[in-house]
Amino acid sequence: MEHAKTQLGVVLVSSALLQLGIGMIVPILPAYASSVGLTEAHVGVPIGQLADVLGRKPPWVGGAIVDGVGCIATACAGGLGSMVSARLLMGAGSAVGGSAATAYAMDVLSLYPKHKGRLLGALNAAGALAWILGPALGGFLAERAGIGLPFVLVGGILLATAPAIHWLLPETQPPAPGTSVASLRFRALLDGTQRSFGALARDRNQQALMLMQCALFTGWSCSLTVLPLYAAATHGASPAELGTLYSVSSALGVLGAPLGGAAADALGRVPAVSLGGGMLVASFASLAAVDSQLHLLGTMAALGFGEAFLMSSIAALANDVTPPHLRGAQSALLAQVGDVTFVAMPIALSLLATTASHESAFLASAGLIAGASAGFRTLARPCKPRHG
């Protein structure tokens, strides 16, 4: 058990560092989130299977190295061709390493079934805290040393975590018998992915999770596209004031993440997820009636709290209902659902805001999340925490 605590510590620190790095990139490349989503969508379908076939560590370490090289290559890019190649490396490395890292964290957290939600909340809170610091640090460094420096630093962080993961962490999911990187065939990997995804897609709890993943990413889509335009156009928010609004939202996420995990342990996974979904519905519905910047600040704080609360409770339920040998595939499946939502919803909500009104986009988001939450309550089944 003491060894498991060391594993948790390494996972927590590496996760916070990676989130800090991503946050540093945000002010330099505003399209980062959407472009990474598109890149991952091309490679993310089969890569989740790697963590289930090869074990967690090889794809985690390999993904960190590829992502790190891509970050540094982005800083050195001198034209469109080299930039696209570098971004493809970043997206592929992030997709491979991210699915494996998530599966590894779920393996370790399963050793603490009674405290799983709280531990997941702590992991998400560390990520939220890193997101508060990352954009400010990235913007500061870019202004003083050029936009390439944040990419170099993030690449260095990624490359530094790879040997730490390799040497400090034991494998939690041994490779399938007779399996090695050299023996892998892409067709076989796709076939295995299809079987894994099919098994997951037939499970009612997994269907419920996919609905709430759509809800969560619908909320993020509205927060990142419609909300800043609304704040600037309607309430005259300056870039600095927008930064303050989002910092407050992220700060409340630091509180919402552990409370969401604690609620998942105390109330049960399904009630906690439903409660988180209700918070998002109420927050987006309230945005349609905001009449001042102070009101907007309070609503965004509630929104940040609710998003983090929901994220932790979703993760706790996902850990309970997913067998260990499918955790890599399940992580990739939820990532695909999020990617597709993150590609479609910003466009749809922005068009609605332009052709109708910002308030219409907020109410549409609230309605979509409410519908997903209703479907979740219909599909989800109570479950016991999974050991191992």
Residues with Cβ within 8 Å of residue 287, at least 6 apart in sequence? 227, 230, 296, 299, 303, 359, 362
Q: Which domain holds residue 285?
A: 200-379
- Res 53: pLDDT: 63
Tokens encoding 105: 């964290």
- Res 361: pLDDT: 95
* Mean predicted confidence (pLDDT) in 159-175: 83
Tokens encoding 224: 């990142």
CA dihedral sign of residues 91, 341, 110, 118? positive
Quick one: 16 and 135 in the same domain? yes
Region label for 380, one of left (φ > 0), alpha (ψ between -120 and 50) or beta (otherwise): beta
Residue with tokens 């005259």: 236
CA distance 40 to 215: 20
Residue 46 has pLDDT above 80, yes or no: no
| Residue 183 lies inside a defined structural domain of this protein | no
CA distance 161 to 15: 10
Query: How many residues does this entry show for the chain?
Result: 388
Quick one: 166 and 308 in the same domain? no
* 326 DSSP assignment: G
- Res 31: pLDDT: 37
How far apart, in Å, do the first and last CA atoms of the chain sit?
13
- Res 63: pLDDT: 84
Residue 52 has pLDDT above 70, yes or no: no
Quick one: 284 and 213 in the same domain? yes
CA distance 63 to 91: 9
- Average model confidence (pLDDT) for the chain? 78
| Residue 254 lies inside a defined structural domain of this protein | yes
Point out the least confidently predicted range of 17-21, 42-46, 114-118.
42-46
Quick one: 115 and 222 in the same domain? no
| Residue 108 lies inside a defined structural domain of this protein | yes
Quick one: 229 and 373 in the same domain? yes
- Res 259: pLDDT: 92
> What is the domain-level CATH number for residue 267?
1.20.1250.20
- Res 35: pLDDT: 39
The string of pLDDT tens digits covering residues 267-320 is 999 999 999 999 999 999 999 898 888 888 899 899 999 999 999 999 889 988
Quick one: 361 and 246 in the same domain? yes
Read off the pLDDT band of 40 (50, 70, 90): very low
Quick one: 205 and 152 in the same domain? no
| Residue 192 lies inside a defined structural domain of this protein | no
- Res 206: pLDDT: 94
Quick one: 338 and 286 in the same domain? yes
Quick one: 159 and 216 in the same domain? no
CB 34 within 8 A of CB 72: no
Tokens encoding 254: 């630091």
Instruction: Give whichever of 199-203, 246-250, 290-294 has the largest mean pLDDT.
Output: 199-203
Quick one: 228 and 360 in the same domain? yes
| Residue 385 lies inside a defined structural domain of this protein | no
* Mean predicted confidence (pLDDT) in 237-254: 74
Tell me how many domains the chain contains.
2
Which percentage of the chain shows pLDDT scores above 90? 24
Read off the pLDDT band of 24 (50, 70, 90): low
| Residue 175 lies inside a defined structural domain of this protein | no
Could you tell me which of 164, 183, 188, 177 has the C-alpha nearest to residue 57? 164
3-state class (DSSP) for residue 292: coil
- Res 211: pLDDT: 97
The string of pLDDT tens digits covering residues 313-358 is 998 899 889 888 788 778 778 888 887 898 789 889 989 998 999 9
| Residue 185 lies inside a defined structural domain of this protein | no
CB 162 within 8 A of CB 64: yes
Instruction: Give whichever of 38-47, 100-109, 121-130, 254-263 has the largest mean pLDDT.
Output: 254-263
| Residue 34 lies inside a defined structural domain of this protein | yes
Residue 37 has pLDDT above 50, yes or no: no
Quick one: 130 and 206 in the same domain? no
Residues with Cβ within 8 Å of residue 185, at least 6 apart in sequence? none
- Res 355: pLDDT: 94
Quick one: 159 and 209 in the same domain? no
